[in-house]
Structure 1
Amino acid sequence: MAQLMSSLRRVDGGWIVDGASDLQAELAAEAPRSIEKAATAEDIRAVVDVLAERALEGTSATGVYSTPGSVAKLMSALLDSPDGRDVRSVLDPACGSGTLLLAAAEAGATELYGQDVLAVQVQRTRLLVEASMDLEPVVRHGDSLTTDAFEDLKVDAVLCNPPYGQRDWGSGELAFDTRWSYGPPPRVESELAWAQHAVAHLRPGGTAIMLLPPAVATRPSGRKIRTNLVRTGTLRAVIGLAPGTAQPWHVGLQLWVLRPRQTDGPTSDAILFVDTTGLPAKADGTEGVDWDVLNDRVLRSWRAFDSPNPDAAVASGVAAVVRLVDVLDDEVDLTPVRYVRASLDSESVVDNVDDVIRGLTTAVTELTSVTGALGGWSAAGSQSWRFVPISDLMTHGQLTWIKSDLPSTDQQVADDMSPVLTAPDIATGSPASGTLSSIASEKREVVEDRDVLIPAVRSDRTGGRSARVAGPEDAGVLRGPHVHTLRVDEDRLDPWFLAGFLTGAENISATRTATVRFDPTRLRIPVLSLAEQRRYGDVFRQLFLLRTAARRATYAAEHVAELVTTGLTVGVLAPESDLDTGRDRT
């Protein structure tokens, strides 16, 4: 297959296989016809991809990913010059599938140069560009870092999606290479070696666009090179892309825009950061990146920054123009989200803070009230109780055990909006927060008032479990997965007494095993009269209310602290001059 790709040639508007005698006759005849039948660039790409994937079978290339067409088009669009100069010559030193060179050709470039360490990718790039654009690119086989096929070439632009995480890229033998104008790259910084290789091939005023993993912006080993790229004004912009934009899909990659300062030109004193992770989703509700919105925001910010008035590029929550001195700290962290912030209205923030403080006051008042209601116990001495397992209570009809269910495996969204009480709701004392999508349609268990609910999994890492007695507000909601129900005969058993002893120290020890699941019939409670049960039950109920009120107060306090801290640190709030902190200032 690799031989077939290298033998395909375009002649007089058609395609032939040069040297067909050495190839399988059927493939030699079918491949040219398939390319000629392709009506669009996508059809041509599909044909070339099939040939290339067949040829690449069995080849391993760690850290090598193809560049999606949408990303390639954005990268080529970033090459537009504000002074109107045409970008005619473009190099991709790790051309792979040829997507970046094709995007450059579609944007108007006429001189295309590429190199790749895999011979199949060399032919793939050549065929894709020739078939799509009727241009003949110059594509060479070899490792661009160690065996540069275009050592003396200078171009208008470089587009590159280099291999990530290389360790054997030649750091030792290239230690004194003249390309390292910004510092010799450490062995773990192959991406910064590729970035400097790209810059070394630029003509004065040329631009390089690199698609890089986010770790390049933060790794301590690359700090010196990042410092020099920023200090000299070579790194003009860092654009953060959302995960799912390009492979690896789970990582939010970055675009670095590099343009060395011209000898007779001014040195930029700022850098542009763009964060696209917060851009709105597609209007039709489907998943994926809205490329129309992303391209508009990114290109608008870049073109404004790359103009006589760079501060015009600032866009709340999307783009920030940062002075170089503010970037050149001990870390030189180039992550866009560190610098891009949404603008906040001071008055609305103050109103919001007032609201959450009122919520905190209410929560603290509730906690104080519940705490004040505690009491009514005394030293009991040494209690000698007889214990009975839950299984015996079931046998004698004092309670019914309704076993927990597993979550539904159906992914369909239910139209019914009935609330579902989940295991976390029980642990935190919260109202029902689940949805029907978690429940199998044939297993809908309705919660009744005074049901004892206990999660089938541990409520915390210590092995403890929370139990909750359903109140009137819970009656009628649906029980979620991983929740056991113990429905008691209240003429013989108090539900709060049962819930309290189920979560006591002895039962916690009995269920703290290697597994997170448990069988409630193994738990034991003491045998007491109904009147005694109710006295204990009243205290257990107060303790449940105490825990619930404490959680609400804690959440409210954390919300207040977070909101005020954010307001102070972004400059929309300021402490009052007469604020009494309680500290002795003498």
Structure 2
Amino acid sequence: MSDSTPTVAAAEIARLAGVTRATVSNWRRRHADFPAPVTGGSEARPLFDLGEVQTWLRGHGVQAADSPLQRLRTLLRIEVAPTAVPELIETVDGTVRKPTALQSAVRDAVVATDLRQVLDVLAERGLDAVPTTGVYATERPVAALMADLLAASATPVSVLDPACGSGTLLVEAARIGATSLAGQDVLPVQAARTMVLLRSSLPNTKVDVRAGDSLLADAFPGMEFDAVLANPPYAQRDWGATELALDVRWEYSVPARGESELAWVQHMLAHLRPGGFAIALLPPAVAARTSGRRIRMELLRAGALRAVIALPAGASTPRQVGLQIWVLCKPDSAHAESVLFIDSARLSGHGAAQQDWSVLAERVVDSWRAFDHGDTDAATVADFAAVVRIVDILDDDIDLTPARRVRAAVDPVGVAAAAHAAIDLLGEHLAGLRAVADTVADWTATKPTALHTATVGDLERGGAVRLVATTTEAAAADAPQRPVLSGRDLLSGRGPSGLTTAGASLPTELIREGDVLVSRFRDDHGAARGARVADGADVGAVPGAGVIVFRTDPTRMDPWFFAGFIGSPDNAAAMFGSTTIRLDPARLRIPILRLDEQQHYGRAFRKLHLLRVAATQTSEAALRAAELIGTGLTAGVLAPTTDGGA
């Protein structure tokens, strides 16, 4: 337990008071008596004395949020040091004869919510001040895909995750039939959390989760499992390259200091029974780095690497990177002659959050299943999946990047058919673009007119427009996934490309029909081309971090009129920043016109929006058609016409 003065950050004050962080910031600016920051924080994350904050809240009539979960958070901050959390977690699912106030608070929170949420709160405190560089949670859709790939080949009884984190992959292993689960994590709080969660939710499953560094202090030495699932840490510099130089696990060559991921790969293979599978989630650099060439070559020669699957960027954290799934097998008597490469990174949408993720995952699993069962024809899908002979990969680079292999493996029939389909699609988009262009062909010339304008801040105070707040609250554990609209979606003119993840905090207000949607960021000081009025798939979606949502009073402000004038040259003044351009909503200026005049403008702006969307779609279709035709011509599966035309 901690003897130091309990402190809280602004986010914790917001939770304590049941308000947003913006409200806490306003209190600090407007109230001279708000407690001053104490030592131990930073300018970006100041800390405050908890007792002083509670006294100030009571003195200003602010009722503290009185939920069992919030009371537990407060008690943890006051009484428990982060290092003491693992011991506390171990008592969560047990019966204590004379519980302390803290143990009673844990029990009350479990009764009011559920065990998973309470474990998350405990882990939140336990992970305070723990560096997390290179350690990322596995999104549930990706974890499910990894488990489904495993299930497509076999039903494992025993499964190990040597970097188990919060246990997501082990939960998925149980879903596909595993009855013996083992895990290890370098952080004791994660190991304790996962052990309690698995034992409580899977009472008929054997569970053994231990704390420790799997590479430097393997908790399961000499043990073999039917399968291994792992999302190991990335780019570790202190993984033990010097201490482990002569380790017996390096069957495929000693990993270089900068190849920690390939150390983890060999650790996984060392714990497999012959013929067992390992599924690893890895950064794309592992497939091509020069320092890992020798190990990649030996994995291929031994037949240990069976598939490399590129995922779309955003599938799992870190979201800016398109991660890869490696399917590995402990070699037995059979010798593999080929490897399956799948490039799903080029598909539309963004990662595991995309709406058609289930379709993507099904295609990936179907291709892998066919390949694993020896049906290479069924496994091969034009511009998506390719089966490549190992001898053809053993070149100077040993580059395992799926895009390179899939593009090189041209299926004549598939490419020709895809090219013809792309040409047909381009024709459809061209026809649609012409139809939309016809609607904007006629305009009435007029003399320059100076329009009287008001700021959005003025319009808000007058009730004509409201900026929808970004207040969030924790979603229920069984809450359905919702689509997420990003700023990139707005700029490209498409619908929501994302889905919420399990347990994520969601905005209290979702997008409604008629809301005005604006991208918060710009690449330059140009017009806000992404601004539009919500309809169709936008309705009910969650606005992403890069999206501003305005809600107009339709009896006073036409939403398309409002959206169109947001992109006016006058509103360049509402943008700030030198490298990343941001939008200040309150500084936007909108003309003051009668509603009927607004509606004339609104109809025109909607036509321009449709024109931009059609132009973008046509451009993408044209580029796709040109790429496929070029591939077909250079691969010899398409021939130019001989009609003598220019």
- TM superposition score category, shorter chain reference: 0.5 to 0.7
Q: CA 1:442–1:201 in 2, change beyond 3 Å: closer, same or farther? A: closer
How does 1:305-320 map onto structure 2 within 5 Å?
Answer: 305-320=371-386
Which residue is equivalent to 1:329? Answer: 395
Which residue is equivalent to 1:277? Answer: 345
Q: CA 1:193–1:287 in 2, change beyond 3 Å: closer, same or farther? A: closer
Which residue is equivalent to 2:502? Answer: none
Query: Residue by residue, what CA displacement relative to the aligned partner does 1:61-94 show, whole Å, maximum 9, x if unpaired?
Result: 2110111222222212222264x5x411111111
Query: Aligned to 2:215, what secondary structure does the other structure show?
Result: coil
Which residue is equivalent to 1:62? Answer: 133
How far apart are the structure 1 equivalents of 2:422 and 2:369?
A: 37
Query: Residue by residue, what CA displacement relative to the aligned partner does 1:23-59 show, whole Å, maximum 9, x if unpaired?
Result: xx22212324544666xxxx43222111111111111
Query: Residue by residue, what CA displacement relative to the aligned partner does 1:451-478 show, whole Å, maximum 9, x if unpaired?
Result: xxxx99xxxxxxxxxxxxxxxxxxx988
Indicate if the aligned counterparts of 1:9 and 1:16 stay in contact, CA closer than 8 A.
Answer: no
Query: Residue by residue, what CA displacement relative to the aligned partner does 1:191-228 show, whole Å, maximum 9, x if unpaired?
Result: 01100110011111111110101111121211111111
Asked if residue 290 in structure 1 is aligned to residue 356 in structure 2, the reply is yes
Q: CA 1:75–1:350 in 2, change beyond 3 Å: closer, same or farther? A: closer
How far apart are the structure 1 equivalents of 2:449 and 2:328?
A: 68
Greater CA drift, 198-207 or 139-148: 139-148
Counterpart pick for 2:562 among 402, 427, 441 = 441
* Amino acid in structure 1 at the alignment position of 2:340: L
How does 1:436-585 map onto structure 2 within 5 Å?
Answer: 437=532, 441=562, 565-574=630-639
* Amino acid in structure 1 at the alignment position of 2:185: D
Asked if residue 166 in structure 1 is aligned to residue 245 in structure 2, the reply is no
| Deviation of 1:8 (Å) | 5.0
Counterpart pick for 2:367 among 283, 291, 301 = 301
| Deviation of 1:400 (Å) | 7.6
Indicate if the aligned counterparts of 1:8 and 1:15 stay in contact, CA closer than 8 A.
Answer: no
| Deviation of 1:238 (Å) | 1.0
* Amino acid in structure 2 at the alignment position of 1:163: P
* Amino acid in structure 2 at the alignment position of 1:566: T
Indicate if the aligned counterparts of 1:129 and 1:136 stay in contact, CA closer than 8 A.
Answer: no
Q: CA 1:74–1:563 in 2, change beyond 3 Å: closer, same or farther? A: closer
Which residue is equivalent to 2:123? Answer: 52
How far apart are the structure 2 equivalents of 1:119 and 1:347?
A: 52
Which residue is equivalent to 2:218? Answer: 148
Query: Aligned to 1:15, what secondary structure does the other structure show?
Result: coil
Which residue is equivalent to 2:30? Answer: none
Query: Aligned to 1:252, what secondary structure does the other structure show?
Result: coil
Which residue is equivalent to 1:112? Answer: 181
How far apart are the structure 1 equivalents of 2:88 and 2:567?
A: 71
* Amino acid in structure 2 at the alignment position of 1:181: E
How does 1:145-294 map onto structure 2 within 5 Å?
Answer: 145-262=215-332, 264-265=333-334, 267-279=335-347, 288-294=354-360
| Deviation of 1:118 (Å) | 0.9
Which residue is equivalent to 2:68? Answer: none
Query: Aligned to 1:127, what secondary structure does the other structure show?
Result: helix
Indicate if the aligned counterparts of 2:170 and 2:181 stay in contact, CA closer than 8 A.
Answer: yes
Query: Residue by residue, what CA displacement relative to the aligned partner does 1:458-506 show, whole Å, maximum 9, x if unpaired?
Result: xxxxxxxxxxxxxxxxxx988xxxxxxxxxxxxxxxxxxxxxxxxxxxx
How far apart are the structure 1 equivalents of 2:115 and 2:231?
A: 22
Identity of matched residues, %: 46
Indicate if the aligned counterparts of 1:16 and 1:32 stay in contact, CA closer than 8 A.
Answer: no
Query: Residue by residue, what CA displacement relative to the aligned partner does 1:266-295 show, whole Å, maximum 9, x if unpaired?
Result: x1111111222355669xxx9634342133
Q: CA 1:8–1:315 in 2, change beyond 3 Å: closer, same or farther? A: same
How far apart are the structure 1 equivalents of 2:194 and 2:567?
A: 62
How far apart are the structure 1 equivalents of 2:422 and 2:317?
A: 43
Counterpart pick for 1:16 among 87, 95, 108 = 95
Q: CA 1:434–1:47 in 2, change beyond 3 Å: closer, same or farther? A: closer
Query: Could you list the runs of 5+ residues in structure 2 that have no partner in the other structure?
Result: 1-79, 431-446, 458-466, 468-489, 491-510, 516-522, 534-559, 574-602, 606-621
Query: Could you list the runs of 5+ residues in structure 1 that have no partner in the other structure?
Result: 360-398, 417-423, 448-454, 457-475, 479-556, 580-586
Indicate if the aligned counterparts of 1:92 and 1:158 stay in contact, CA closer than 8 A.
Answer: yes
| Deviation of 1:345 (Å) | 2.0
Q: CA 1:437–1:237 in 2, change beyond 3 Å: closer, same or farther? A: same
Indicate if the aligned counterparts of 2:179 and 2:206 stay in contact, CA closer than 8 A.
Answer: no
Asked if residue 28 in structure 1 is aligned to residue 103 in structure 2, the reply is yes
How far apart are the structure 1 equivalents of 2:207 and 2:380?
A: 38
| Deviation of 1:139 (Å) | 1.8
How far apart are the structure 2 equivalents of 1:558 and 1:97?
A: 43
Query: Aligned to 1:273, what secondary structure does the other structure show?
Result: strand
| Deviation of 1:441 (Å) | 3.0
| Deviation of 1:569 (Å) | 2.8
Which residue is equivalent to 1:536? Answer: none
How far apart are the structure 1 equivalents of 2:234 and 2:290?
A: 17
* Amino acid in structure 2 at the alignment position of 1:312: A
Query: Aligned to 2:306, what secondary structure does the other structure show?
Result: strand
Which residue is equivalent to 1:102? Answer: 171
* Amino acid in structure 1 at the alignment position of 2:562: S
How far apart are the structure 2 equivalents of 1:186 and 1:445?
A: 53
Indicate if the aligned counterparts of 1:93 and 1:114 stay in contact, CA closer than 8 A.
Answer: yes
Indicate if the aligned counterparts of 1:160 and 1:210 stay in contact, CA closer than 8 A.
Answer: yes
TM-score by length of 2: 0.54
Indicate if the aligned counterparts of 1:349 and 1:567 stay in contact, CA closer than 8 A.
Answer: no
Q: CA 1:73–1:287 in 2, change beyond 3 Å: closer, same or farther? A: closer
Query: Residue by residue, what CA displacement relative to the aligned partner does 1:546-565 show, whole Å, maximum 9, x if unpaired?
Result: xxxxxxxxxxx999986764
How far apart are the structure 2 equivalents of 1:28 and 1:182?
A: 49
* Amino acid in structure 1 at the alignment position of 2:104: A
* Amino acid in structure 2 at the alignment position of 1:321: V
Q: CA 1:10–1:204 in 2, change beyond 3 Å: closer, same or farther? A: farther
* Amino acid in structure 2 at the alignment position of 1:155: F
* Amino acid in structure 1 at the alignment position of 2:166: S
| Deviation of 1:111 (Å) | 1.8
How far apart are the structure 2 equivalents of 1:304 and 1:110?
A: 26
| Deviation of 1:143 (Å) | 1.0
* Amino acid in structure 2 at the alignment position of 1:297: R
* Amino acid in structure 2 at the alignment position of 1:205: G
How far apart are the structure 2 equivalents of 1:443 and 1:34?
A: 48
RMSD: 4.7
Query: Aligned to 2:95, what secondary structure does the other structure show?
Result: strand
Q: CA 1:35–1:77 in 2, change beyond 3 Å: closer, same or farther? A: farther
Asked if residue 344 in structure 1 is aligned to residue 400 in structure 2, the reply is no
Structure of larger gyration radius: 1
Query: Residue by residue, what CA displacement relative to the aligned partner does 1:330-357 show, whole Å, maximum 9, x if unpaired?
Result: 222212222335832279659969x99x
Indicate if the aligned counterparts of 2:532 and 2:563 stay in contact, CA closer than 8 A.
Answer: no
Query: Aligned to 1:303, what secondary structure does the other structure show?
Result: helix
How far apart are the structure 1 equivalents of 2:298 and 2:242?
A: 21
How far apart are the structure 2 equivalents of 1:101 and 1:347?
A: 39
